[in-house]
Chains A and B, each alone.
Chain A
């Protein structure tokens, strides 16, 4: 059954507000999604009824707060098909989750010349941590190129994977929308004895996620792009990997014992969760997972495919050669992220004109500068859609885009 977007919109309080006297047309969900009422209520409810520190109080409130945190972990584990709840490590965001792997597994297991393979379409969050390991430990960072149709060019994969220790790839590009062949890459990585990490930040909010079906060893994603609060992200990893990895940050919560001579670490996942965790945020993420399950992830994806198809058709029919939409042309091969160039007008100027009509799009390099270089541009405008968007939002974008001509086309 298709999503009832009118009902979905009614769940998101922010959809009631106006911008510059116009209704809000929010097309920047690849940057962050809005929050439905149940998520906002869960966070408020936590502070009003349970607030206390976790894993250390013996009183009732602390027991309930701890239970709320661990319940959120269970919900996230179920949502992505994790074998155990303890495979879910809460982090600040996907960036921290990727850095956690680079700083712990990477430092312990990678040395000079060890190949780590990423792609040209990665977000900076899956580039810079490896640049840092290149500088510190001399790893050999390799790049899978992309083709002009926005898909990965796997023609030279065997050579790129030769000797690889880790393959780390975005499941969905935050610029092109490309859905990458994660299972194929994971199998190829395992064939050469490498581990597979997936940056699922743009995948988990939009498609049913099954970490086992992906064939991944590490999966990172963030809460705020999937209806959850900011400040909470997730690293999933296989238990045996988490057990073997050294700890990340040191402090309270992550220890079993501390003496003047040293320390021993707590069990996973707490070994990686130093300090008071983002408890309310985790509870909010649990509520977001409940909300998305209520909509049905199959339906969420179906809606995305239909709306992406409508957007591609509408913009191409309306503007023809005046618009270039990057990435795959088939909605089934992509997410609802549309990066485009319009009549050579700079994206900053496009976004400024669209804002006047209440249309929110992102302009810039989208934290993917190496990809921008491959595309041959410094920046793009990007419209990205989610469960609360419908055809009227696409129409509003198409209408407002033409208004840029007044200023920039002689």
Chain B
């Protein structure tokens, strides 16, 4: 079996123990979305405030394992202050790192090449791919953020 050290890298455990951007935002102006992992009962709540195509602020809450909590924390740090277009590139790059087939409803971003996106800390989640059951733990927060941003843009 792959080493647990591949899964539980120090940087992941750091985000788990000291989560960035954990909390709530006032709605409105922020939008709130909930994501569920029906397999294990994990819940993630994403608050996101989008203005002029820019993610001005993001917070997350809910309950989950180290992978889902660390993934939420890393994602929030990565996308805060970015444009929605950049988020799409991050999302696409993250999904391909997780070996997930591109979603036909969610084509690769047209501006820029997601292969060029630097995932930074998020690269540490690469080891999750060796533990297929845990991939959903890592992607839950991304699904939920995508949903929240779509809602925010529909509102504006």
Report A's interface with B, CB cutoff 8 A.
20, 346-349, 352-353, 355-356, 363-365, 369, 372, 377-379, 407-408, 410
Contact = CB atoms under 8 A, between A and B. Distances in A.
Interface residues of B, number: 21
Contacts of A378: 41-43, 63-64
Contacts of B40: 347-348, 363-365, 379
Most buried by A among B8, B13, B17, B134: B8
B1 A346 contact: no
Contacts of A372: 41
B58 interface: no
A365 B137 CA distance: 15
Interface of B: 1, 4, 7-8, 13, 16-17, 39-43, 63-67, 69, 131, 134, 137
B42 A352 contact: no
Most buried by B among A348, A355, A364, A378: A348
Contacts of A407: 4, 8, 13, 66
Contact of A369 (B8, B16, B41): B41
Most buried by A among B7, B39, B40, B67: B40
Nearest to B131: A352
Contacts of A347: 40, 65
Given A352-B131, A407-B4, A407-B13, A346 B65 contact: yes
24 contacts: A346-B65, A346-B66, A347-B40, A348-B40, A348-B42, A348-B65, A348-B66, A348-B137, A349-B66, A349-B67, A352-B134, A355-B1, A356-B1, A364-B39, A364-B41, A377-B63, A378-B64, A379-B40, A379-B41, A379-B42, A407-B4, A407-B8, A407-B66, A408-B13
A20 B83 CA distance: 45
Contacts of B65: 346-349
A346 B64 contact: yes
Nearest to A356: B4
A377 B42 CA distance: 10
For the residues of A in contact with B, the DSSP-based class is helix
A-B pairs with the 4 shortest C-beta distances?
A: A365-B41, A348-B65, A346-B65, A364-B40
B14 to A, nearest CB: 10
A335 B155 CA distance: 52
A269 B43 CA distance: 43
A347 B67 CA distance: 12
B86 to A, nearest CB: 30
Contacts of B42: 348, 378-379
A355 B41 CA distance: 20
A365 B37 CA distance: 10
A363 B67 CA distance: 14
Contacts of A369: 41
Contacts of B137: 348
A379 B41 CA distance: 6
B8 to A, nearest CB: 5
B1 A20 contact: yes
